[in-house]
Chains A and B, each alone.
Chain A
């Protein structure tokens, strides 16, 4: 082996970003579209129930583009705003979406090959779904950034458009829990275990991540468990080879 033996396969300076990649990303994300449509409809309905106008609702879906954080925001939404309430809402939003800090970090070695401007653009559309798709694609040796971007853009368009009927139909949308819609992302997350599996040894950090996340969820309200568990898993992965 030469000095490049620590590089993953297909590494080097290749930085493809193609239309075919974007189409592949669209195809990969299409599986999730029915679930996302119902999620967006449910958000639109919740927003109209809270008295948000259609323009405000659409703006939030288009600019924030984070389903869980938008639903959490509906719990905190109010007719009159003080600066303190706005700062509070921003802080809660950041804690709900803090997982994307780690998701971005995990794909940074791949993204780093592309121009900063392109990364700043496509990260606006970076969300759970295209992180999962990109992670699996990269684990299988793929290197075309178009897959991440195509999936993110396609999902964004559907997310924003599907907010409209939700806002207009409002109360007509019955309990989305009945159809298991609240489980779409958890199922997609859980299924990712299979393509990510690299044997029992490589799964030790995941066990640590799971234990720390469960413990954190017991002790701390909100979504801190994702961050605490993921970091514990990454640290375990970073240092355990020294001991063996």
Chain B
């Protein structure tokens, strides 16, 4: 098989899978900390905080 060079996995690729994928277990667990919404909200907060620091390269004054 073709060996795909395995550089260090990018964090975004991990987060695409670990925060948006994987089996979600909610319900009658003792702790409801794996709640999807909680994780999504926090990731959104994280992304928007990163965005504020880096303006869009396509923003043009017309």
Decide if A and B are genuine partners: no
- Residues on B lying within 8 angstroms of A by beta carbon are none
Q: Which residues of A contact B (CB under 8 A)?
A: none
